[in-house]
């Protein structure tokens, strides 16, 4: 199984990129992992929030393959502890045939078409993080999950 | 009111420090904020987890003043949305006379003496983050709270 983190918006830059790159490299020791950048809506000044979500939703759906198992990172999603997230990833490795895709939406969340396509929603926190920060937090949690699955000394309970 | 983030362990370095410094600087426009470093337990190879927590607990309590309002960042704490955390900070600004101290513990959590002294516990997520990452996430959420309190366009609901 491959894992992709699909993110709407600009390619990461600056200090957060260093952290995202660090965990992405560490993850490559465990499984194929990549970050897929999805174009955000253009000329957003002329768009309502709903129009922006709709435009981004089209781009998200275009980036997803029929065989992908799609999980939205969404504030209304299920919250996991790091231990339970590791168990979740471990189960997915046994059941998802090709690609497990986690999707981070744009600033206003997901369009209904994206919710309809998604297989699941999970939430990293009740709090709202910046989109760059979510990328860092997610890659760190996925790395933590892989160390837990492999019984390696990174995570303390 | 002043706010302090008291953290057990090493001074932040590398890419996360850039983010922590950035939000710390931005926070200084709203209220006095600082990060206070608390020494971690030394020679931990010879200490049990309980002994390490006890030693760190002593250092935490030594860094806290009688008049401080102490909030532990703890996995068993109450979770807030970013909006509710902003309301929480706003209320504290009206009721805490001197210093509001948020404390991040060492790798094994807090000693019972620290729980006894604390006024409250809050949790940023059900997930476990690295101690450096918690510092970044917390300073970003506190900055986000200040922009929400001041009606500034940083946070989207």
Q: What is the pLDDT along chain A (157 residues), one digit of tens a residue?
A: 999 999 998 877 788 999 999 999 999 999 999 999 998 877 777 888 889 899 999 999 999 999 999 999 998 999 999 999 999 999 999 999 999 999 998 878 899 999 999 999 999 999 999 888 999 999 999 999 999 999 998 777 6
Give the span between the Cα atoms of A133 and B73, in whole angstroms: 19
What number of C-beta contacts closer than 8 Å exist between A and B? 73
Q: Which of B14, B15, B52, B105 to mutate to test the interface with A (most CBs of A within 10 A)?
A: B15
Residue B135 has pLDDT above 90, yes or no: yes
**Closest C-alpha to A27, from A100, A132, A84:** A100
A111, A56 Cβ separation under 8 angstroms: yes
B7, B131 Cβ separation under 8 angstroms: yes
pLDDT of residue B157: 65
pLDDT of residue A38: 94
pLDDT of residue A157: 65
pLDDT of residue B13: 76
Q: Give the gap in angstroms from C-alpha A110 to the nearest C-alpha of chain B.
A: 13
The helix (H) or strand (E) run that includes residue A25 is helix A14-27
Structure confidence at residue B155 as a pLDDT band (50, 70, 90): confident
CA-to-CA separations, B136 to A39, A157, B60, B150, in angstroms, rounded: 27, 21, 20, 21
pLDDT of residue B132: 86
| Count of beta carbons in the 10 Å neighbourhood of residue B142 | 22
Q: What is the pTM of this model?
A: 0.91
- Chain A residue numbers touching B144 (CB-CB < 8 A): 128
Classify the complex by whether its ipTM is higher than 0.95, answering yes or no: no
Geometric angle at alpha carbon B135, from A141 and A156, rounded to 5°: 45
pLDDT in tens, B16-60: 999 999 999 999 999 999 999 998 877 777 888 889 899 999 999
Question: Taking CA atoms, what residue in A is nearest to B157?
Answer: A108
User: Which residues, including other chains, have CB under 8 Å from residue A46's CB and lie 6 or more apart?
Assistant: none
Cβ of B48 under 8 Å from any chain A Cβ? no
Q: Do B18 and A19 touch (CB under 8 A)?
A: no
The helix/strand/coil state of B63 is helix
Sign of CA dihedral A69, A72, A77, A83: positive
């Amino acid at each position: 199984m491959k894992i992709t983190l699909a993110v709407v918006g600009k390619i990461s830059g600056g200090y957060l990129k260093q952290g995202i790159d660090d965990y992405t490299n560490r993850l490559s020791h465990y499984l194929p992992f990549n970050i897929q950048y999805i174009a955000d809506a253009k000329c957003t000044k002329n768009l309502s929030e709903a129009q922006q979500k709709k435009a981004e939703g089209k781009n998200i759906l275009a980036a997803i393959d029929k065989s992908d198992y799609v999980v939205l990172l969404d504030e209304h999603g299920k919250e996991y502890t790091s231990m339970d997230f590791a168990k979740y990833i471990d189960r997915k490795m046994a059941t998802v045939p090709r690609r497990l895709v986690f999707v981070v939406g744009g600033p206003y969340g997901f369009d209904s078409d994206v919710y309809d396509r998604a297989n699941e929603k999970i939430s990293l926190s009740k709090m709202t993080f910046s989109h760059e920060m979510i990328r860092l937090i997610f890659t760190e949690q996925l790395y933590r999950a892989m160390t837990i699955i492999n019984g390696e000394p990174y995570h303390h309970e």
